[in-house]
Structure 1
Amino acid sequence: MRRMLAVLALVASSFVVTSAASAASCANVKVVVDFTSFGGGVQTACTTVDPSSGIVALQNVKFVVGYVPRQPGFVCTINALPNPCNGAPTTAYWSYWHGTPGGTWTYSSSGAGSYNPAPGTVEGWSFGAGTAPSTTP
Structure 2
Amino acid sequence: MTTRRTFGATALATGLLAASAVVTATPAQAAACSGTSGVTVVVDFTAVGGGIQTGCAPGDPASGLAALTGAGFSYSFHSRFPGYVCKINALPTTCTAPSGSAYWSYWHAQHGTPWVYSTLGAGSYNPAPGDVEGWAFGAGTQPGITAP
| TM-score when normalising by structure 1 | 0.79
Measured in 2, the distance between the counterparts of 1:125 and 1:83 equals 17
Q: Does 1:28 align with 2:56?
A: no
1:73 Cα offset (Å): 1.3
Take 1:78 and 1:25, find their aligned partners in 2: how far apart are those partners?
A: 26
The structure with the greater share of residues assigned to strand is 2
Structure 2 stretches of 5 or more lacking a match?
Answer: 1-31
> Which of 1 and 2 has higher RCO (CA within 8 Å, sep 6+)?
2
Q: Specify whether residues 25 and 100 from structure 1 end up closer, same or farther in structure 2 by C-alpha distance, changes over 3 A only.
A: closer
Q: Which blocks of at least 5 consecutive residues in structure 1 are unaligned? A: 1-21
Pairwise CA RMSD: 1.6
Counterpart for residue 80 of structure 1: 90
| Matching of residues 66-105 of structure 1 within 5 Å | 66-105=76-115
Give the stretch that moved more between structures: 127-136 or 77-86: 77-86
Secondary structure, in 3 states, of the residue corresponding to 1:47? strand
Distance across 2 between alignment mates of 1:118 and 1:100: 10
The structure that is helix-richer by fraction is 1
Of 102, 116, 131 in structure 1, the residue corresponding to residue 141 of structure 2 is: 131
**Quick check: which has more Rg, 1 or 2?**
1
Partner of 1:113: 123
Deviations 1:102-126 (A, max 9, x none): 0000000000000000110100000
The superposition leaves residues 28-47 of structure 1 with CA deviations (integer Å, 9 ceiling, x where unpaired) of 10000001112211000111
Q: Deviations over 1:55-114 (max 9, x none)?
A: 000111221111112222111100111111012311110000000000000000000000
The percentage of aligned residue pairs carrying the same residue is 54
Q: 1:123 to 1:103 in 2, by over 3 A?
A: same
Instruction: List structure 1 segments (4+ residues) > 6 angstroms apart after TM superposition.
Output: none
TM-score by length of 2: 0.74
